[in-house]
Structure 1
């Protein structure tokens, strides 16, 4: 058995970047193994039953899949240098940012990777997975074939010729400027210490939007303070720092949080509604399909359709649980902020038919 943890991932992987940064901050010794096709066949699939990275192998030979589960496990195992704020407002905002980054920043992350000029860089990156030791020109050929599957997900996420101008306007003229203004004043989301929300955010902001050539050039031009934050998040031996005193949420985050409740949360809630309907219509089913048809979403002034991803309900449950587990006193401190942001009503949502992960598969919780 290994002495250290082992991270199975890849530099191009959005969620590997999230876990890698977290392990570095926690100062947990780990070795990283590149997830080539051979590693998928010999380790990842046999040990987890799924084809997703990252996967974390513990010194006791346990294999953990899913970034949120990995961080939950390590927070319990290594309580020092916690990334979960103790204050109720900061704890909730941290969880909100993790869900938003995991779910909604997929739009610009996938769009800028596959619809902008990142070639042959991306093809070589995917080619390393298939044939890591072959010359670059061979990797490009094989990577183009391997990458076609991921490129095929782009329209399924609602990234279409109709929605692309709105996605670019939102990312370039709203998200990046708001984050840049915030990181001009704060090292991390909630002060001088990173929280779970920072690690959620670093996934798309590093592996796709910073590291890919086209979007990386754009970020350097439009948001130099975001670039500095990305680079801070990838450092070793990060100083512990502290979150803002008195459970304060920086004012620079409020416009972005308001926007999340306006555009992103309706999509999550509508997803949960469709999942609830499917469970009621399939009372004997325990395993959920990964997708349930399509629904409409809005970004800017554009309405488009996207695939309903059942996993999004699991992510939503986690955030609602943070709020709903609070004491009455904590809610009294949090509710004025939620009302200011337009998020009070949605935080009262009760999901009757919950979903959970069993052996890395999404299932109905009470089956």
Structure 2
């Protein structure tokens, strides 16, 4: 049996970009198979029970779906070049950035892809799913039909006429500025070695915001050091590099962490409260819906409604689990950092009803 892994995904896919960068960095031998309609119907759906990419097939014939799960499983099998810092503050910050990249940077990623003139590039990219071997004009025709489904998801994320100016200001004049400042002095988030947080950021910043024509031009012009970071993670250095000594968190990350806790954290907290309530009100339902209503959120000072997504609780549980593994002294150090810098307490998160993934579907634990 071949020892080669197989990555089922697509270049325009946010999470495929994350998985591909991880496999490349870890030097895991893999081949990539484009997720055409034929591949979805013959492999992805029958083997995983869902229609989501990326999927990684192991040499033993196991199919792993979701990037967090993929990375966790492969970290167990390939111990070298670990992306999990060993020290508590760095470990927690890494997980927070992974969560932010996976779940919050989706907002600018989806806005700039679907509300800017990235066409016909995007239509051709999506057209490959339905007609991978046809000429470009045919791919554009079918791609436009397929892409409309994804574009329809934009308002669900709270991307509306009301929030678009705030999203653009937030991303271009704050997030990119702070990331550019950080990557002007650090190769990766926590030093000269990528952590899980780097790969979380890479998904949206590469697949949507670097590759797509309009946001790609903005990113290269306004944040050239971020563009260089993208290239570093696409073509990682041969040596391991190192994380900063003494469990240090760079000062250049503090403004970004402040924004995460101010804007993203309240959304997570209310999502958890809503999930806990939903579970109590639906005691006989095991499978959790992808969304359970809407709630208010604020970005760039503007409020709007967006879908409540239970999957974010599953992702947040991971942050809490990392924290709960620390010993008393480690927790004290982390508490001092988080509470003194941001006025928060990780252990205070109300998640008595936990979620888990069962057969690639979200269920009550």
Paired residue for 2:93? 93
Aligned to 1:252: 252
User: Secondary structure at the residue paired with 1:64?
Assistant: strand
Tell me by how many angstroms 1:151 deviates.
Answer: 0.2
TM-score, length-scaled by structure 1: 0.98
Asked if the contact 1:2/1:61 (under 8 Å) is kept, the reply is: no
Matches within 5 A, 1:68-107: 68-107=68-107
Conservation of the 8 A alpha-carbon contact between 2:272 and 2:350? no
Aligned counterpart, 1:337: 337
Quote the residue 1:109 is aligned against: 109
Taking the aligned partners of 2:30 and 2:198, their CA distance within structure 1 comes to 20
For 2:176 and 2:340, the matched residues in 1 are separated by: 22
State the 1:282 CA deviation. 0.6
Determine if contact 1:297/1:305 at 8 Å carries over to the other structure.
yes
Alignment RMSD: 1.0
Q: Distance in 1 between matches of 2:302 and 2:237?
A: 44
Deviation at 1:3, TM superposition (A): 2.4
Shift of 1:79: 1.1
1:232-261 C-alpha deviation (Å, 9 max, x unpaired): 000155421000011100110011001100
CA distance in 1, matches of 2:350, 2:298: 23
Q: Which residue of 2 aligns with 1:156?
A: 156
Partner of 2:345: helix, strand, or coil?
helix
Inter-partner Cα distance in structure 2 for 1:231 and 1:193: 14
In the alignment, is the contact (CA less than 8 A) between 2:268 and 2:312 conserved in 1? yes
**Partner of 1:153: helix, strand, or coil?**
coil
Residues in 2 aligned to 1:84 and 1:350: alpha-carbon distance in whole angstroms: 25
> Residue 147 of structure 1 aligns with which residue?
147
Q: Is the 8 A contact 1:98 1:197 kept in 2?
A: yes
What is the TM-score with the length of structure 2 in the denominator?
Answer: 0.98
| Mapping for residues 148-227 of structure 1, pairs under 5 Å | 148-227=148-227
Instruction: Note the C-alpha offset of 1:346.
Output: 4.5
Partner of 2:20, secondary structure, is helix
- Per the alignment, residue 294 of structure 1 pairs with 294
Q: How many residues align?
A: 365
- 2:321 maps to what in 1? 321
1:17 aligns with: 17
Q: Distance in 1 between matches of 2:186 and 2:343?
A: 24
1:325 deviation in Å?
1.9
CA distance in 2 between counterparts of 1:34 and 1:287 reads 29
Do the aligned partners of 2:335 and 2:345 also contact (CA within 8 Å) in 1?
Answer: no
Secondary structure at the aligned position of 1:292 is classed as coil
Alpha-carbon spacing, 1:142–1:343, altered in 2? closer, same or farther (3 Å) = farther
Per-residue deviation at 1:350?
A: 3.5
Q: Distance in 2 between matches of 1:26 and 1:207?
A: 20
Counterpart for residue 131 of structure 1? 131
| Distance in 2 of aligned mates of 1:47 and 1:202 | 27
Distance in 1 of aligned mates of 2:10 and 2:343? 36
Q: Is the 8 A contact 1:23 1:30 kept in 2?
A: yes
Using the TM superposition, give the Cα deviation of residue 36 of structure 1 relative to its aligned residue in structure 2, in angstroms: 0.7
Kindly indicate whether the alpha-carbon contact (under 8 Å) linking 1:37 and 1:129 is maintained by their aligned counterparts in 2: yes
Check if 1:279 corresponds to 2:294.
Answer: no
Does the C-alpha gap of structure 1 residues 237 and 224 become closer, same or farther in structure 2, counting only changes over 3 Å?
closer
Q: Which moved more, 1:238-247 or 1:168-177?
A: 238-247
Deviates more, 1:175-184 or 1:312-321: 312-321
Distance 1:188 1:218, change over 3 A: same
Once residues 184 and 361 of structure 1 are traced to their aligned partners in structure 2, the CA distance between those partners, rounded to angstroms, is 40
Residue deviations 1:249-281, cap 9 Å, x none?
011001100110011000011001111010000
Return structure 1 stretches of 4+ with deviation > 3 angstroms.
none
